[in-house]
């Protein structure tokens, strides 16, 4: 998934505001669903970020940059998944995070059904 | 109502990103409700911005600035109100907008009850 | 220019937060420049939103929507331009605004050079 | 430091958008400087978030909530500091993060001067 850096993404430093890299990761997660005809939220369930295990801000992106976001499923548990999300500018890694998402049903952590588990398996590395 | 300008509010120009002045106006509208023990949204109704009649970006606010937001009710109609919202840095006017808010009930434009009308009268200029 | 609505764009109402339509318009303006090998900001000049002449919030966009943004130059003045920006979901108009942009050089309003004027002429309606 | 949750902070889930907790932490960091007559950025230096060591999203804040942000300096190194930032709603911890900030001079990591070190010592726990 590719995104462009606009005015709204930058701050007074001239570079991207740090929390926005997490927004870009969320966009990429949503696009995983959309590109498979699914949605990350519906009347029954949605996902929340439960934990950022670690996030590294390696380089600064700037206005006009085109960034690519790569999402890998590291682990699938019953009611949560662990993702590695990496943001690259061409071949340069500028941001990397490991994130735990929890699956909620009616606002309570809840086991994913087998269809959802199969979906996430698509993004596991061999 | 007073707000501080943080990193998140600025962009690469070094000043506040233009759309954020509208966020500040919304904060001030919400505080009108909160400061009177009310909420601008509940299970029954909420308000939406229906129209910006005009918005003037007169001066640029910058990181660290303290701004004051002044809200005046210009007109109360059955299902909507017209507001004047002005943002000042000390005595200097930096942003001014006239905005129409519509009152929605179950996502449909709907007449405000008399209690709501009385509430808005508090913010009318004599 | 097409954009997708993500979590970050929505608010508690379930729809897009009103000020974000102005962000989408800014993205579209920046892409006009990028798609022509230019940038809306460089060491010498940049543009600022000087005035929203009028902005109509006609329909509400929601999570997952794909929106198109159409930008038309209505008028080119010496140091500013007037734009019409319309946001559509398929053929339905959901937002429309007329906006005045000012051209700044070293933070002062300044006449655009002929190359910039020619650039904006590309987006004028016949 | 106390902040209020506004429309802009929420998303379609009805709760605060996850990346916004990091914005609130940044506001609190900036206020540490402002409240001591300093600024986190000037022509000579600024700080960047270099790493989120860990961030826990424990509870969800919602529209209208009043949150308190508590910042503790865990460690002061030559050119960086490690902070613990906690967001509370009354006595309930809803977000907690350990963050590494790097001190930059002319966009390069650079040793803090003694005045800056003394400033951060004010926020160390005994």
Kindly report, residue by residue over D10-34, the tens digit of the pLDDT: 999 999 999 999 999 999 999 999 9
Element (H, E) at C24: helix C20-34
Dihedral angle over CA of C44, C103, A11, B4, nearest 10 = 130
C6, C26, C34: residue with CB nearest A8 = C26
- Does any CB of chain D come closer than 8 Å to the CB of residue B46? no
Return the bridge partners of A18, or none.
none
Q: Averaged over C51-76, what is the pLDDT?
A: 97
* H helix count then E strand count, chain A: 2, 6
Residues B75 and A33: their CA atoms lie apart, in Å, by: 45
> What residue in C sits closest to D20 (Cα-Cα)?
C8
pLDDT interval class at C44 (50, 70, 90) = confident
Q: Can you tell me whether residue D57 is helix, strand or coil?
A: strand
Q: What is the pLDDT of residue D126?
A: 65
CB contact under 8 A, D18 and A97: no
Contact partners for chain B, using 3 or more CB pairs closer than 8 A, are A, C, D
* Closest Cβ opposite residue C54 in set B26, B48, B53: B53
Q: Is B9 a catalytic residue?
A: no
A97 contacts on D by Cβ (under 8 Å): 52
Instruction: Please classify residue A69 by burial: count the beta carbons closer than 10 Å to its beta carbon, then call 0-12 exposed, 13-18 middle and 19+ buried.
Output: buried
Chain A residues inside the 8 Å CB shell of C99:
none
pLDDT at residue C126 tops 70: no
Residue of chain C whose alpha carbon sits nearest to that of B107: C13
Residue with tokens 């001591």: D36
To the nearest whole angstrom, how far is the Cα of D46 from the nearest Cα of chain B? 11
Q: How do residues C67-113 score in pLDDT, each as one tens digit?
A: 999 999 999 999 999 999 999 999 999 999 999 999 999 889 999 99
CA distances from D15 to B113, C78, D11, D56 (A): 28, 46, 6, 16
pLDDT-based confidence at residue D44 (cuts at 50, 70, 90) = confident
- C-beta of residue A91 within 8 angstroms of C-beta of residue A25: no
Nearest CA in chain B to A13: B12
Is residue B110 within 8 A of residue B103, CB to CB? The reply is: yes
pLDDT digits (tens, 9 = 90+) for A5-63: 999 999 999 999 999 999 999 999 999 999 999 999 988 899 999 999 999 999 999 99
Residues of D whose CB is below 8 A from A26? 18-19
Distance CA D51, CA D98 (A): 9
Identified catalytic residue from B11, B56, B107, B113 = B11
Residue D76 Cα distances to D40, D73, D101, D112, angstroms? 16, 7, 10, 10
Tens of pLDDT, residue by residue over B29-54, are: 999 999 999 999 988 899 999 999 99
Q: All domains of chain D, ordered by start, with CATH?
A: 2-121 (3.10.129.10)
- Chains sharing 3 or more CB pairs under 8 A with chain C: A, B, D
ipTM, interface predicted TM-score of the complex:
0.95
């Amino acid at each position: 998934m590719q995104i462009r850096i606009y005015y709204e993404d930058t701050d007074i430093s001239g570079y991207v505001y740090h929390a926005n890299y997490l927004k870009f990761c969320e966009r990429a997660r949503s696009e995983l669903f959309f590109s498979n005809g699914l949605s990350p939220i519906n009347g029954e369930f949605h996902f929340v970020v439960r934990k950022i295990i670690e996030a590294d801000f390696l380089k600064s992106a700037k206005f006009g940059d085109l960034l690519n976001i790569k999402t890998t499923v590291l682990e699938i548990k019953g009611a949560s998944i662990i993702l590695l999300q990496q943001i690259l500018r061409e071949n340069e890694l500028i941001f990397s995070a490991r994130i735990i998402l929890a699956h909620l049903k009616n606002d309570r952590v809840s086991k994913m059904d087998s269809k959802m588990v199969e979906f996430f398996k698509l993004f596991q590395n061999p």
